[in-house]
Structure 1
């Protein structure tokens, strides 16, 4: 079987804004609107102002509006851009107009989607797929799982998951990209995963209604014939702390589906202690920075504490960022169960092993 990744890639269509000739700009912060109005007039746009609202029109087929967005991206602060909502080319009918205003993106999102504050083209033009890094048992070196990492190809260059998710968050596309990441991970791994588990990163804030938002992933797992418990959803510690209440409702749905939960980048301290007791994860992952600080005695103390606390709630411990034999020996001695890092394997595209050719097909003809 030839090794190919073309069937694993997907190209998405993102709803990019078109050139606009009229904008409705609203904000509850009155001090921001005069600034927007002044910039709009300076680039030749007509501005009508009423309570909490600007009606801006462009007589030059959208050239002035594009200049306005460019100026706003440079002259407004991030905080100001987040308290302004923008409806481009709004409808004339009153009910539709009100609906558009209520659902209009913030100026920060509009600027990101127009490429003024983020390289939106990186995401809008990218082909997306997953690469996989092995997770091994530190007892015998056997591969027991793979972590899926999203990748993109834009303008002939590979783009990492961090950049993709940065753009998606800026443009308010995080829920969609998070779903795509889960789906790429499952569909890419299904043909070759075997008995190993599949680790997939997720952003809890991207799941608004757990039952509906996670359904496509559940269905894909079922269609692929993968048992639910094979899917391990990774949640990073900082979002877990700040979105604690929402996280618990999402975790409840994960477990209803039979999926397992991993806490990523866990460290020492009250927040970690609270999370471990509340979330009771199936897996705890110690991050690259901590692992690579070993054999520093402070790092060892933190490592031991997390291992003890994780084992206390019945979780396995994965040491990430293991890049040489010394680090592998160190984390094993400190009680980690599993290891991940370049020492065990880099993230790569994986395909099914080719089937053996029957002997009768390889025997020379007589």
Structure 2
């Protein structure tokens, strides 16, 4: 018997995880709910037979459409409505057996929980994802030397940023999947125009369980894109790195064995930053945007100068983030930063496809794909 949470959660440990269903019966005494279900199901190509308080749903695609419908219902119906609907999947024929199943059927809320369907999962399953790129420039001559890839998505018709996407993915237990798609989208999207510049991609260390396995598809993507390993810079956010130092170090060792470089992101004042700099010894140090934007405050200037000096002593290149004015650019240059990133040099943007490429190559990535 499969379980939702692998036996860890005692309250759900005995729940059997439902398999794909090709037929479902939904029953409720609330008049407006079943018309909503019927409308959504019909739009997805599911056959619907309705009576006043009962709807029969038939999926001729092996249950895939019903799975998607359950995800939509988790978003469209309120918690009270899902508690007021009874669900029977792949019910028996007519007669006493069917009546008994309906009388003992779980609520839609319970059925969704058993399937591991939440509002967050429904949102992510239908999201369209792609990468945008922000330039990183040499502060000495303002030439573009690298680009940072940032994930974007369309959810319910509106564009959302990577921070929101990863928050939802973490809540829904899809962090590793979204992180993989983000890495590979960044690489594939840059293949035709990157040239000799470096590519910075963000990686959440906790999404990598075993580097040799979890990063295999990313390695293939880099190779197929024709990007030299030395061009790839993997960014690790300081707050993510603190959770499991030993695991982080093993993941970083694998990155470096591939020829990739490591950047420590959001580096600011405090013991944690200094400790991580010494332990990780990154090839690139990215100064925290919030600290940079406190300039020309004397305290911020003192801290940033110390961080730049320490990074250089460790052999790292220093990137100052959040540069939006010429004054900030001059300040961080005077403090010894090597590279700059911020709206002054360019906002994150989606590259224009080459004229000779077909439209299909630039379609967004759907998270629901394998």
Q: Secondary structure at the match of 1:306?
A: helix
Of 108, 111, 121, 1:66 maps to 108
Secondary structure, in 3 states, of the residue corresponding to 1:349?
coil
Unaligned stretches of 5+ residues in structure 2 = 13-82, 87-99, 357-370
Find the residue that maps to 2:337 and give its secondary structure.
coil
- Provide closer, same or farther for how the CA distance between residues 23 and 207 of structure 1 changes in structure 2, counting only shifts above 3 A: closer
* Distance across 1 between alignment mates of 2:325 and 2:150: 22
Question: Equivalent residues in 2 for 1:1-366 (5 A)?
Answer: 59-60=101-102, 64-68=106-110, 110=116, 113-115=117-119, 118=120, 120-351=121-352
Q: Unmatched 5+ residue regions in structure 1?
A: 1-21, 34-41, 46-57, 71-85, 89-109, 356-366
1:293 alignment partner, SS class:
coil
Distance 2:259 2:354 in 1: 28
1:68, CA displacement in angstroms? 4.7
How far does the alpha carbon of each residue in 1:243-299 deviate from its partner, in whole angstroms, 9 at most, with x for none?
A: 211100100100011100000001123222221111110000012111111111111
RMSD: 3.0
Q: Spell out, residue by residue over 1:86-145, the C-alpha distance to the aligned partner (whole angstroms, 9 max, x if none).
A: 755xxxxxxxxxxxxxxxxxxxxx3xx421xx4x33321111110000000000000000
- Assess, with a 3 A threshold, how the Cα gap between structure 1 residues 305 and 25 changes in structure 2: closer, same or farther: closer
**Aligned-partner Cα distance in 1 for 2:130–2:103:** 38
- How many aligned positions are there? 274
Cα 1:326/1:61, change in 2 over 3 Å = farther
Give TM-score, length-normalised by structure 2. 0.68
Q: CA separation of 1:28/1:259 partners in 2, compared to 1, >3 Å: closer, same or farther?
A: closer
Task: Name the CA distance, whole Å, in 2 between partners of 1:61 and 1:229.
Answer: 64
Per-residue CA shift, 1:121-179, capped at 9, x if unaligned? 33211111100000000000000000000111223211111111111111111111111
Kept in 1: contact 2:283–2:315 (CA 8 A): yes
Matched-pair contact (CA < 8 Å) for 2:230–2:260: yes
Q: Secondary structure, in 3 states, of the residue corresponding to 1:193?
A: coil
3-state DSSP class of the match of 2:159?
A: strand
Distance change in 2, residues 1:23/1:272 (3 Å):
closer
C-alpha distance in structure 1 between counterparts of 2:125 and 2:142, whole Å: 40
